[in-house]
Amino acid sequence: MPRLGFGTATFPFEPSEVTKKAILQAIEIGYRHFDTTYLYGTKQPLGEAIIETVSVGLTESRDDLIITSKLWCSDAHGELFLPALQRSLL
């Protein structure tokens, strides 16, 4: 796993296209680890950037990238856990 990851936490306040461009630039300069969660609202631009990098040959496949996510602390127990996990993985 890479020692340095690209966090997407500040991007919910940016338009999706700005987020996607930042992720593409990060991949171009060598980032391979990206951190997100459903609360950030950045999964769609991250997914679009991944598709684009594979299609233009910046990475060979999705398997070249590591995506980490997490649950909000209030979702990490009881009946809230599984739905929160599913939201995070979609």
pLDDT digits (tens, 9 = 90+) for 7-53: 988 766 778 899 999 999 999 999 999 998 888 888 899 999 999 99
pLDDT tens-digit readout, 42-75: 889 999 999 999 999 999 999 999 999 888 888 8
Domain count, the chain: 1
Catalytic, out of 5, 21, 24, 40 = 40
Per the structure, the complete domain to which residue 31 belongs is given by 6-89
In a domain, residue 34? The reply is: yes
In a domain, residue 21? The reply is: yes
- What does the pLDDT read at residue 64? 95
Q: Tokens at residue 55, please?
A: 């299609």
The answer to whether the beta carbons of residues 27 and 16 sit under 8 Å apart is no
Q: What is the C-alpha to C-alpha distance for residues 19 and 13, in angstroms, rounded to an integer? A: 9
In a domain, residue 20? The reply is: yes
Residue 87: closest CA among 35, 40, 32: 40
Q: What is the C-alpha to C-alpha distance for residues 33 and 7, in angstroms, rounded to an integer? A: 9
Name residue 10's amino acid: T
In a domain, residue 1? The reply is: no
Cα angle, residue 46 at apex, residues 1 and 61 outer, rounded to 5°: 55
- What does the pLDDT read at residue 25? 97
The answer to whether residue 31 is catalytic is no
In a domain, residue 39? The reply is: yes
- What does the pLDDT read at residue 63? 94
pTM value?
0.83
